[in-house]
Chain A
Amino acid sequence: MELLGSQNLAATPDQVWAALFDRDVLEQAIPGCESLEQTSDTSFVAVVKLKIGPVSARFKGEIELSDIDPGKSCTLSGKGSGGIAGFAKGAARVTLTPEGDYTVLDYTADVAVGGKLAALGNRLIKSTAKKLTGEFFANFTKALTGEEETPVT
C-alpha cells in the first residue's frame, strides 16, 4: 500500500529537520503515542495505542532514520507489532523543500500490514492510515510552530 502526501509547514527546513529528530516533538506528534524512547541518534522505540476499525491494540515499534541528507531528506523505516491486531511495517522517504516562509514536506511511504489489519481489507486500512498520517502532521505542526497546519493535498 502506497501513501503519498505533502505538507506545508510554517518553519524553515532546518527547524523541521531538527524536529524530525526531536524525541519530544515526535512523542506529541505520533497519534496514540504512550512512550517514545530514543535508542541512538537515529533510532527510537515507541509504544503506540491505536484503534483501527474494530481492532484496537498497542503497537510496539522501532523507528529508524537512514539515507540522511541533513536538512533535505531522509528515510524513516519502522516496524510495529500489535499482537492480536497484527503488524505494520514500512518506509517513508521524506524530503524538505523551502518555499518562501514555508517548508514543503513531501513523503512517499510504502506500508504493509498483516494479521487482522490485513484481513479487514485495504479499504479500511488505507483510510485509517491517511487519517493517522493527517493527525501526525497536525500534531507535528502544532509542536513545531504552535499553529495549525495547512495541508496541501
Chain B
Amino acid sequence: MIPSKNHIGQSHRRKNALRHLAGRGRFVTDLALPRMVHAAFVRSPMAKGNIVELDVSEAAVASGVVRVFTAETLNHSCVPWTGTLDHFAGMQSGAQNMLASSEVLWVGHPVVMILAHSRAEAEDACELVMLDIEDEDAVVDGDAALVKGTPLAAEGINSNMCFQTLLETPDLDDAFARAAHVVEGKFTFGRHTAVTLEPRAIVADFDPSTGQLDVHHGTQTPYQFQDVYARHFGLSEGRVRVIAPDIGGSFGMKLHVYHEEMAAVAASLMLGRPVRFVADRLESFVSDIHARDHRVTARMALDAEGGILAMDVDDMTQIGAFSSYPRTSVAEGNQVIRLMGAPYQMPDYRGRLSVVFQNKVQTSQYRAVGHPIACAVTEALVDRAAELLDLDPFEIRRRNLLADDAYPHVSATGYQFEKLSHQASLDKLHQMMGYEALRAEQTALRKQGIYRGIGIAPFVEITNPGASFYGVGGARISAQDGAVIRLTPAGDVHCAISVTEQGQGTETIIAQIVADQLGVTPDQVKVTTGDTDNTPSGGATWACRGAGIGGETALRAGRKLQMQILTLAGEILQADQQHLALASGAVVDKTTGQERITLAEIGRIATYRPDTLPKGSDNSLTAAQHFAPTGYPFDFTNGIQASHVEVDIETGVTRLLKHWVVEDCGRIINPLLVDEQIRGGVVQGLGPAVFEECLYDDMGQMTNASLADYLVPMAGEMPDIEIAHIETPTLDTILGAKGVGEAGTAAAGAAAMNAVNDALRPLGARISQTPMTPLRILTALGHV
C-alpha cells in the first residue's frame, strides 16, 4: 500500500521559528552593509503650514553628516505618486513626493533627509536644521472638512471629499416603510495603528558600476515594490531586486508606499552607496499608516418576528491629506459598506460612503480591512433589535443567518457567496461556550453588583481576492502567484514561491502542500520566499491569500513536477507511468506501494548521467506554475465570535474574561498555525476595541505618539481564546483552502462591544464608540 500523503491537515511546527528562538532572526534592522549611511528626517511639527525658512547649512557640515537632502535636491529623482484607482469612480488625491517642498500637510510630514555615518549623528544634525513654518488652520475633523468654506487639506484636490459612493437596492425605502421595527445607532470607531514590533526598515543599495539596485525591505509585498521602484525612479525592472527577509510584523501596514523608503532609495541612487532607514518608535506613530477612523450612522428594519429586512448605512471615514499609494485609502470604507449585514438574509440595503481628507497621517489598509467596522455596526443593531423584541441574541441570529443550504447566494451589497456555514457555526459556538451556564452565572452575579456581559458576532471575511480587487483599477498589484519547484540532484525538493512569510507560517504550509504532491516529508522541502530575484513574481501577502492562492499555486506546481518525475521514472524503468506513484521519497508501484526507484536516484541520473536516458527524454526536474483565482471573485469565509467581559461600573474598566471563535476557512492545512492566526487576529481586534487610539488635539497634533502613551494589548489584559472549526472547502480550487489571517480581527471588537453593552444593559447605559475606554464607559453610565 502507498503510505497516505497526509501532511496537509497536520500541525507541523515551523522550521523558521527555530532561528528566532535561537536569536538568529535576519531582520532588515540587523543588516549592516559596507559604506552604509543612516537616514534621519526632519518632520513637520505642524499639521498644516507653509515653509517660510529652511536652513540646512549648519546640519550639512555637522559631525558625521554625509549629505543633506531637501525637496529641492531630492524630489526631482522620483516620479510623483498618486493614490487613485480607476474603479473607484470619481476619486481624487493630490500627487505625493518624498519631501515636503512648500507646504506641510500633517504632523510628521518629512521635510529634510539627513544621511550620516550613524543614526545618532543624523539625528544630532536634524537638531541643527532651522525650519520655520507659518502655520495655517488645519483640517482636523472630517465633518468640518466638508463644510463649505473650509480650507482644502492639500493641494491638487477640488474639495475635501476624496471619494463618495452609494449602493442601493430598489426596494430599500419600501422595506423601511413596511418594517415592524426599526433600530438605529451612531457609532464612532477611533483611529489606531499597527505598532509592528519591528518598525519600518529599509536598506537601499545601489551599485552605480552595474546599475543594480538591491533593496532590503521589511515588506510583505516585494514584487509590488520592485515595480514601484522601477517605475518611479526610471529603472528597468530587471535591475531592481527587492529582498524581504524576516519581517517583525506587518499586518497590512508594510505594503504601502512611504515617503521615507522612497527617499532612502532615491538617496542610494544619488550617493551610490547603501542607505539605511529604520523608523524609531516616535516617528512610526506619525508616519506609519493609521487605520479605521469612521463615523457611522446606521439603521436596520425588521419585521414583526425579528427578520432583518434592510439596513441603511452612512459611513464617513477620515484618511489624512492624501489617499495612500498604490492601494488607495478608500478600500477600507468600500469594504465597510459592502460587508454590512453580510451574514444575514437581508434583501435590501443602502450604503453611503464618504471618504474625507484632513491633515493627519494617512489611513489605509490594515488587517481585516473594513471588516471590524461593518461587523460592529451590524451586530450592535442586531443586539438592539433582540433587546427590542425580547429575543435572545442567539435566537435572533438563528432566525436571520443565511441557511447553510442556501448557496450560492448573492448579498444585498452584491457579494457572491459560494458556500458558508453560519448556522452550523452558531450552533457550535453555543455549545462550546456553555451559553446557558454563562447566562445563569451572569444573572446570579448581577445580584452581587458584578456586571458581566456576553456578546456574540457572526462575520464574513473576504479572502483569496482575484484581479477585480486592484488590477481592474489599474494598480500594478498581482492577484496571481507563482511557484518554481525543483527536485535537486540529491532528491530533495526546493520550492521558490511568491507568497511571503511574516511568521504566519507560509513557508511551513507550502512545504506541507508540496510534500504531499511529491511523496516526501515537509522537512525535505526547502521553501524560499521574499526575494524578487529568486522567486517568481506574484501578489505575495495581502487580503488573506497565502494559503488559498499561494497554496493552490504550490499544489499545481507540485503536481506538474510529479508528472515530470513520473514520466522520467517511466522512461528509466521502462514502465508505464500510469502504474507509478510518488511516496516515501521514491517512485513506487501504484498498486503495491513497492519502491521502484528513489527520488535521489532520479535526481542523480537526470543531473549527472543524462547520457543514460533513452533518446529524446526530457531530464527537466523543475516545474513552474502560476495561478490566479478564476471562479468566484473572492472566497468568502465565515465564522462567529463570542466575548465574555466584566465591567467595573465604579472605574469603567472592562476586563476581558474569555473569547471564543468558531471559524470556517475551508480546507485547513495546518491546524496549529490556523489557530494561532486566529488568536493573534482576535487580540488585534480587541486592542482597538478597548485600548488603542491615536489621539489628536484640535490643532492636528497627535498627543499620544509613543509606546508610553499609546496603549497596546498586553498579556495581562488579554483573555484565553477557545477555537473550533467547521470546514467548508472552496470548490474553486483543488486545495479548497480559504484565508484565515483576518478572521480573528474581523469580529473580535464587535463581540466585545456587544458584551460590554450586555453588561451595561441593566443600568440603562450603552456605548457606541471604540475604544471603550473607562472614561467613555463612565460617561455612558452618567458617572462623569
Contact between B699 and A84 (Cβ–Cβ < 8 Å)?
Answer: no
Q: Which of B127, B133, B285, B703 is within 8 Å of A58, CB to CB?
A: B127
Contact between A118 and B127 (Cβ–Cβ < 8 Å)?
Answer: no
B44: A residues at CB distance < 8 A: 115
A82: B residues at CB distance < 8 A: 45
Query: Closest residue of chain B to A58, judged by CB?
Result: B127
The secondary-structure label for the interface of chain A is mixed
B704: A residues at CB distance < 8 A: 119, 121
Q: How far is the CA of A60 from the CA of B128 in the complex (A)?
A: 11
Is A57 engaged at the interface, CB distance under 8 Å to the other chain?
Answer: yes
Contact between A83 and B126 (Cβ–Cβ < 8 Å)?
Answer: yes
Contact between A119 and B285 (Cβ–Cβ < 8 Å)?
Answer: yes
B779 to chain A minimum Cβ distance, whole angstroms, is 20
Q: Give the bracket for the number of chain B residues in contact with chain A.
A: 20 to 34
A60-B132 in contact given A85-B127, A119-B701 (Cβ < 8 Å): yes
B135: A residues at CB distance < 8 A: 87
B282 to chain A minimum Cβ distance, whole angstroms, is 6
Is B30 engaged at the interface, CB distance under 8 Å to the other chain?
Answer: no
Query: Closest residue of chain B to A60, judged by CB?
Result: B130
Query: Closest residue of chain A to B42, judged by CB?
Result: A84
Q: How far is the CA of A130 from the CA of B703 in the complex (A)?
A: 19
Is B286 engaged at the interface, CB distance under 8 Å to the other chain?
Answer: yes
A84-B129 in contact given A114-B107, A115-B46, A118-B702 (Cβ < 8 Å): yes
The stretch that binds A, out of B238-246, B659-667, B705-713, is B705-713
Q: How far is the CA of A118 from the CA of B47 in the complex (A)?
A: 12
Interface residues of B in 14-58 (CB under 8 A from A): 42-47
Is A97 engaged at the interface, CB distance under 8 Å to the other chain?
Answer: no
The secondary-structure label for the interface of chain B is loop
Query: Closest residue of chain B to A89, judged by CB?
Result: B135
A116-B45 in contact given A60-B132, A121-B706, A122-B703 (Cβ < 8 Å): yes
Contact between A84 and B46 (Cβ–Cβ < 8 Å)?
Answer: no
A-B interface pairs (CB < 8 A), number: 79
Q: How far is the CA of A107 from the CA of B87 in the complex (A)?
A: 58
Contact between B43 and A84 (Cβ–Cβ < 8 Å)?
Answer: yes
Is B131 engaged at the interface, CB distance under 8 Å to the other chain?
Answer: yes
Is A112 engaged at the interface, CB distance under 8 Å to the other chain?
Answer: yes
Q: Which of A56, A115, A121, A122 is within 8 Å of B45, CB to CB?
A: A115
A118: B residues at CB distance < 8 A: 45, 107, 697, 701-703, 705
A113: B residues at CB distance < 8 A: 701
Contact between A119 and B131 (Cβ–Cβ < 8 Å)?
Answer: no
A115: B residues at CB distance < 8 A: 43-46, 107, 701
Contact between A84 and B127 (Cβ–Cβ < 8 Å)?
Answer: yes
Interface residues of B in 96-137 (CB under 8 A from A): 107, 123, 126-133, 135
Q: Which residues of B contact A (CB under 8 A)?
A: 42-47, 107, 123, 126-133, 135, 282, 285-286, 697, 699, 701-706, 708-709
5 pairs of A and B residues whose beta carbons are closest in the complex: A115-B45, A119-B705, A86-B45, A118-B701, A84-B126
